[in-house]
Amino acid sequence: MWLTGNKVRALVFLFCYWLVVNYLVFLSPITFFHGPDAGLVQDVELIVSEAASPAGLPQTYWQPLSLPDDWYKNQRQVGQVWYRANVSLGEPGDNIWAVYLPLVAHNAAVFINGVWVGQGGPFGKPTSRHQNNPLLFSFSPLLLQPGENRIDIRVQASFHEQGYLDGFYLAPESRLKDVHAWKHFVRVDLIRWMTMAMYLMSAIVFAFWLARPQDSIYGLFSLELFLWATHNLNLFVSEIPVSARLWEAMIMSTLGWTVIVMIFFNHRYVGERNAGIEKFILVFAVLGIGIFFLPDIGSILHIGYGVWDSFLMVFGCYAIFYLLRAYVRRQDPDIFLMLLVGVPILVFGFHDILIVNHFLDRRDGLIMHYSAIPAALLFSWFLIRRFVQSINRAEHLADTLDRRVRMKQRELQSQYEKFQSVQEEGLLLKERERIMRDMHDGIGGQLVSVISLLQEQSGDVHKKVREKIQHSLTDLRLVIDSLDPLLNDLPTLLGMMRMRLVDQLEAANITLEWAVTELPEMKNMSPRRSLHIMRIVQESIANSIKHAQSEKMMLATGVIGAENRQVYVDVIDYGIGIAGGLDAVNRQGRGIKNMQYRAQQLGAILNIDSAAGGTRVRLLMDVE
Amino acid sequence: MQTYTLILVEDDADVRDRLVQLVVQHEHFELLATAGNVAEGLAALAKHRPDILLTDLGLPDGSGIEIIKAIDEQHLDCEAMVISGFQDEHRVFSALEAGAKAYILKHDKSQKITDAIINMMNGGAPISPVIARLMLRKFQVPAQNERGLPEALTRRQIDILKLVSQGFSSQEIAEKLGIRYYTVTTHIKNIYNKLQVNSRTEALYEAGRLGLLP
């Protein structure tokens, strides 16, 4: 973050990094492969001969030479050369001996004092390929003799410019094998495993891509790994299944296509595409197929190394500058990491191009494939991360969606319930209206008219009739009120009752103290329940008016019980109490029995406390 | 005290006669006309432009609410009062929305009826628990606010409506809240006005929604 957050700092770092990589590659102070400490043979004689064994070699016309022998530099126009060295030894002892060839192209067979001791692989067309593979041939000390010993080495190359033999070693095996094993490990085993891993990764990423074909970078990365791995085959496959010409064409083209696919990948991963460049390199890639149709290895190598690789260098530089530009714009740490792995690819690649074009000593060996390790790791990590992120994102989205769906479901449910209750309310209201109309036109209207007429009349009979009708009307109203959904609210219900009963109380000269409070919403309220509550309250008030002989009365509400889950409605008169106590209450007429029955129907408790100071009727209901 | 002119619309002859008696005998009222249906009521309203319209709601040819609405449409300076027969708060509430300012019950005692009319002219406004609850519901439903209704209730007005819905009288509310009785009735009257303004806006909104407006 410290580095990638600051543009200038990061660019300076990258430049220094580029310098260091160049220094390590071209002026390396580190030697990876030390030669064995004994038995180096450099002074040899050579003869051009198609012979298959030393027995077929002429005894004259041998030319002295100091190894290494680079056939391109020494302009050998042949496919096979024999080398001979005479080595003077002491007592060979009982230990196994060996000949170690650090570098030979392409194939070699070794003879000690005319006896064959080993070879890289089959000679012929195509010849076995060991240009990257150090060879070690062990043999019995019995083949050696004190004094002069003759070593003959047969070297064959697919193409005369590629032939090469470096100085070799003759020594007891124990002094050679570690050096050989190390070089073999770094040059062959490591690359073999790496290449297998790249194929495997390519297959996995390819499967990802099959699952998500719209994500083209998976397909590109899979192809990239496949091409680069195939290019690597040249480093460790010795027995090739096709002709050397086709093999060279394949190795040449796969390298180019690797670079091209890398550019396509970069464009898509970074997200800034350049259609013009893509078109151009695509044409170039298609032209690359032409390599397979070149008539011989010579033209493949000349055109491949000279033209094709030069373009690849340009493309490689483009890829780096493309990343640099994207980095300057965005300071994306991912792009910074891509530059870190991209720089070695470019520098190593340049190194290899110099080698194959004979500007550098071939003993350095090709190294570009090593730059694939950090690159493949980084991009694999990128893609796995991307895949995991997209899974996480998908999961998160699915979660959110799920939550939203559930929320909507709840909303719908509650809307539906509301709708139902509104519908029910609407039905009740309609029914109520119908009853109202009936009442208005029929009995209710008539009763109102009669009272209205009687209002102006005096006299006891009139008064009594009026009161009776008034009571009937009030009764009728309570029944109709019970149908009003608004009266599911208990305080409103009691408030309406107060309005309905005010005349009755006034007539009895009773002051009603009103102590109604706000109450929690009662569940399960219905017209039936409303009517039960109203009847109980009405009956209590009526009883008090009749029996209490009080001028004052109170109606009070409140909440009690655990978590205020119970609501009470008290009707308190300040009268004489019920004569004979509660037993008398129970023995009383239908009025109180009715109240008890209604309380039971409500699932409520009805308490009647009576004393000299008055009577309290308490209706206790659960909120739920 | 000044005298108020008045027209009466009631289809029940007995009730009408009683109310006519009541009004004619009262020193502060001058009855200009009576009517037995909506058409006559509308004609009388346009012709006499009274101070007070006293109307039943259930009339043979329609609803008294139509006559109440005409007051607003014709920009008359007239207070409408509903004669409610068999109590029906829901219908009375519709009348209040249309612009009625008060209501009486047919079978109320004479004194109570005349008091109610005078009270209305003095700025009073009767209200019942159910009407208070209907008011609260009308003003509190969020969907209504989304329509951008111009009037909302104040905290105090909501408190008053809640107490009314619990059955408290205006006098009791005044005592509970420590304000004057007239302050309570003024609040209620203001609520009535807000209700009418909102229902007018709502009617325009509905008309617009149905494409009835140009």
Closest partner residue to A492 among B58, B107, B133, by Cβ?
B133
Q: Does A514 touch chain B (CB under 8 A)?
A: yes
Q: Do B86 and A489 touch (CB under 8 A)?
A: no
Q: Which of A393, A427, A445 is the last residue of a domain?
A: A393
What span, in angstroms and rounded, lies between the C-alpha atoms of A366 and A353? 9
Beta bridge partners of A45: A64, A84
DSSP-based three-state secondary structure for A326:
helix
Report residue A437's pLDDT band, with 50, 70 and 90 as the boundaries. Answer: low
Q: Most A CBs within 10 Å: which of B25, B87, B103, as the mutation test of the A interface?
A: B87
| Mutation target vs B (from A419, A435, A438, A440; most B CBs, 10 A cutoff) | A440
Q: Say whether B167 and A448 touch across the interface (CB within 8 A).
A: no
Which residues of chain A does B176 touch, with a Cβ-Cβ cutoff of 8 Å? Answer: none
Tens-digit pLDDT profile for residues A479-497: 878 877 778 889 999 998 8
Residue A319 to residue A325: CA distance in whole angstroms: 10
Q: Are A192 and A326 in a shared domain?
A: yes
Q: Does B158 touch chain A (CB under 8 A)?
A: no
Chain A residues near residue B18 by CB distance under 8 angstroms: 452-453, 455-456
Partners of B59 in beta bridges = B62
Residue A324 corresponds to which tokens in the numbers above? 């640099």
* Cα A447 from Cα A454, distance rounded (Å): 10
Same domain, A207 and A88: no
Task: Select from A376, A393, A410 the last residue of a domain.
Answer: A393
- Is the separation of the CB atoms in A449 and B56 below 8 Å? no
Contact by Cβ (8 Å): A235, A132: yes
Q: How confident is the model at residue B67, as a pLDDT?
A: 93
Domains and CATH numbers, chain B: 4-121 (3.40.50.2300), 129-209 (1.10.10)
Q: At what angle do helices B64-73 and B38-48 cross, to 10 degrees?
A: 30
pLDDT of residue B146: 54
Do A53 and A115 sit in the same domain of this protein?
yes
- The H or E element spanning position A553 is strand A552-560
Q: Is B18 on the interface with A (CB under 8 A)?
A: yes
Q: Are residues A83 and A50 in the same domain?
A: yes
Q: Are A277 and A332 in the same domain? A: yes
For residue A179, how many other CB atoms are within 10 A of its CB?
Answer: 19
Residues A87 and A63 in one domain: yes
A440 located within any domain: no
Domain of A68, CATH number, reads: 2.60.120.260
- B166 has a chain A CB within 8 A of its CB: yes
Write down the pTM of the prediction.
0.56
User: Is A95 contained in some domain?
Assistant: yes
Closest-CA residue to A429 (of A491, A489, A487, A490): A487
Dihedral angle over CA of A33, A37, A38, A41, nearest 10: 40
Residues 78-97, chain B, touching A (beta carbon < 8 A): 85-91
Residue of B nearest to A430 (CA): B90
Cβ contact, residue pair A491, B166, below 8 Å: yes
pLDDT digits (tens, 9 = 90+) for A211-243: 888 888 889 999 999 999 999 999 999 999 998
pLDDT higher than 60, residue B142: no
For residue B108, give the chain A residue with the closest CA: A452
Task: Give the model confidence (pLDDT) of B175-187 as tens digits.
Answer: 999 999 889 988 9
What is residue A139's predicted lDDT score, i.e. its pLDDT? 93
In a domain, A433, yes or no: no
A328 HSE (CA, 13 A, CB side): 9
ipTM for the complex shown: 0.84
Report the pLDDT value the prediction gives residue B86, as an integer from 0 to 100.
67
Q: How far apart are CA B128 and CA A598, in angstroms?
A: 27
Residue with the larger pLDDT of the pair A465 and A182: A182
Q: CA-to-CA distance for A250 and A234, rounded, in angstroms? A: 9
Task: Please indicate whether, in this complex, the C-beta atoms of B165 and A489 are within 8 angstroms of each other.
Answer: yes
A122 and A191 share a domain? Answer: no
CB A465, CB A454: distance < 8 Å: yes
Is residue A325 included in any domain, yes or no? yes
Nearest to A218 by CA among A209, A210, A226: A209
Report CB contact under 8 Å: A514, B167. yes
Last residue in a domain, options A364, A393, A422: A393
User: Tell me: the pLDDT tens digits for A356-385?
Assistant: 888 888 887 888 889 988 988 898 888 888
Question: Out of B14, B91, B128, whose CB is closest to A496?
Answer: B128
Strands B102-105 and B79-84: parallel
Residue among B84, B107, B172 with most chain A CBs within 10 A, to mutate: B107
A472 contact residues in B (CB cutoff 8 A): none
> What is the C-alpha separation between A111 and A54, in angstroms, rounded?
8
The residue among A339 and A474 whose pLDDT is bigger is: A339
- By the 10 Å C-beta count (0-12 exposed, 13-18 middle, 19+ buried), A13 is classed as middle
Residue A8 CA to residue A605 CA, distance in Å, equals 84
Question: DSSP secondary-structure letter at A292?
Answer: G
- Give the number of A-B residue pairs with CB atoms closer than 8 Å: 93
Q: Which amino acid is at A240?
A: I
Who's near A523: CB < 8 A, 6+ residues apart?
A623, A624
Residue A486 to residue B133, Cβ atoms within 8 A: yes
Amino acid identity for residue A447 in this structure: L
Give CA–CA dist A14/A144, Å, rounded.
57
Sign of CA dihedral B169, B171, B173, B175: negative
We report the CATH number of the domain holding residue A605 as: 3.30.565.10
Query: pLDDT tens for residues A151-170?
Result: 999 999 988 888 999 999 99
Nearest-by-Cβ selection for A452 from B18, B88, B134: B18
At A464, is the secondary structure helix, strand, or coil? helix
For A266, the token pair is: 């970069």
Long-range contacts of A305-313 (CB under 8 A, 24+ apart): A305/A353, A305/A356, A305/A357, A306/A357, A308/A252, A308/A256, A309/A255, A309/A256, A309/A353, A309/A356, A309/A357, A310/A353, A311/A256, A311/A284, A312/A255, A312/A256, A312/A259, A312/A349, A312/A353, A313/A349, A313/A350, A313/A353
- pLDDT-based confidence at A581, cuts 50/70/90? low
Res. B85: pLDDT tops 80? no
B54, B81 Cβ separation under 8 angstroms: yes
A448 closest CB neighbour out of B106, B128, B132: B106
Say if strands B58-59 and B52-56 run parallel, antiparallel, or are unpaired. Answer: unpaired
The DSSP line for B138-197 is HHH-HHHHHTT-S----HHHHHHHHHHHTT--HHHHHHHHT--HHHHHHHHHHHHHHHHH
Q: Are residues A319 and A382 both part of a single domain?
A: yes
Predicted confidence (pLDDT) at residue A548 exceeds the cutoff of 70? yes
Contact A439 B110 (CB under 8 A): no
The proportion of chain B whose per-residue pLDDT surpasses 90, expressed as a percent, equals 29
By the 8 A CB rule, do B96 and B68 touch?
no
Do A145 and A239 reside in the same domain of the chain? no
Which chain B residues are within 8 Å of A492, Cβ to Cβ? 129-130, 132-133, 165-167
Domain assignment present for residue A619? The answer is: yes
pLDDT in tens, B147-162: 566 778 888 999 999 9
| CA distance to partner chain A, nearest, from residue B186 (Å) | 21
Return the pLDDT at A113: 92
Tell if the CB–CB gap between A498 and B167 is shorter than 8 Å.
yes
Distance between first and last Cα of chain B: 47
Distance of CA A58 to the CA centre of its chain: 71
Mean pLDDT computed over A530-558: 88
Among residues 46-65 of chain B, which lie with CB inside 8 Å of chain A? 58
Nearest Cα neighbor of A164 from A102, A85, A239, A217 is A102
Distances (CA, A) of B160 to A402, A514, A579, A614, B171: 45, 15, 42, 32, 11
Cβ-Cβ contacts under 8 Å, A514 against chain B: 167-169, 172
Has residue B208 got a pLDDT over 90?
A: no
Q: Chain A residue with minimal CA distance to B159?
A: A518
- Token couple for B92: 């009375």
Is the predicted pLDDT of residue A422 greater than 60, yes or no? yes
A131 plus A215 within the same structural domain: no
Q: Please write the tens of the pLDDT for every residue from B40-59.
A: 999 999 999 999 999 998 88
A68 within domain boundaries: yes
Please tell me which of the candidates A440, A455, A498 has its beta carbon nearest to residue B86: A440
The per-residue pLDDT of chain B, averaged, comes to 85
> What pLDDT score does A3 carry?
64
Q: What is the pLDDT of residues A3-30, one digit of tens each?
A: 656 788 888 999 999 999 999 888 877 7
From chain B, pick out residues whose CB is under 8 angstroms from the CB of A496. Answer: 128-130, 167
Whether residue A214 sits in one domain with residue A132: no
Residue A153 lies in a domain: yes
Q: Do A448 and B129 touch (CB under 8 A)?
A: no
> What are the tens digits of pLDDT across the range A96-121?
999 999 999 889 999 999 999 999 99
Test A455 with B130 for CB contact under 8 angstroms: no
For residue A1, the model assigns a pLDDT of 55
Smallest CA–CA distance from B13 into chain A, residue: A449
Which of A429, A486, A516 has the CB atom closest to B166's CB atom? A516
The pLDDT of residue B144 is above 50:
no
A617 is in which domain, residue-wise?
Answer: 486-624
Does A456 contact chain B (CB < 8 Å)? yes
- Rounded to whole angstroms, the Cα distance separating A339 from A331 reads 12
Q: Would the CB atoms of A440 and B134 count as touching at under 8 Å?
A: no
What value does the mean pLDDT of chain A take? 86
The answer to whether residue A365 sits within a structural domain is: yes
Taking the CA of residue B76 and the nearest CA in chain A, the distance in Å comes to 31
pLDDT per residue as tens digits for the range A30-64 = 777 888 888 899 999 999 988 989 988 888 888 99
Average pLDDT over residues A467-472: 81
Domain count within chain A: 3
Q: Cβ of B143 under 8 Å from any chain A Cβ?
A: no
Give the number of C-alpha atoms closer than 13 A to the C-alpha of residue A509, restricted to the C-beta side.
4
β-strands B62-63, A115-119 pairing: unpaired
Same domain, A126 and A149: yes
Q: Which of A452, A489, A499 sits opposite B107 (nearest CB)?
A: A452
pLDDT band at A441 (very low <50, low <70, confident <90, very high): low
- Those residues whose C-beta lies under 8 Å from the C-beta of residue A428, and which sit 6 or more positions away, are A483, A484, A485, A527
